[in-house]
Amino acid sequence: AVTPDGAGTAYTAAADKDGLMVSFIQSNYKGFGSALAAPSLGFALQNRGALFDVDDPAHANAYAPGKRPFHTIMPGMALKDGKPWYCFGVMGGNFQPQGQVQVLSNLIDHGMGVQ
């Protein structure tokens, strides 16, 4: 499986008439995420820190001060002429980096719409 059982990702994008855009992704690695909720915000915090390798200090994803674990939480935003043009995101674990390139290529190179 690409993601562990019980994992899930939600993505949303919003834009207003003035060009303000938000690209937001929330993804729980396992089950209920960290099982901690952000006070008064209503969502569980993610638990991607579980992806650190704690057994091998030479591993590229080894736990160390100042490091972040490898993850695929990638809200995207593209600019055109220095201004917000498109915000986007895809779900699918390790597919996300390639998926975002594919979405942009479809929009830019092939003139496709978001649907």
Distances (CA, A) of 62 to 23, 51, 70, 111: 29, 9, 10, 42
Measured on CA atoms in the order 104, 23, 30, 68, is the torsion positive or negative? Answer: positive
Ordered structural domains, the chain, with CATH: 8-108 (3.60.20.40)
| Structure confidence at residue 6 (pLDDT) | 57
Instruction: Name the more confident of 33 and 67.
Output: 67
Q: What residues are labeled active site?
A: 9
The model carries a pTM of 0.65
Write the pLDDT tens digit of every residue in 49-92.
777 888 999 998 898 898 888 877 888 999 999 988 899 888 87
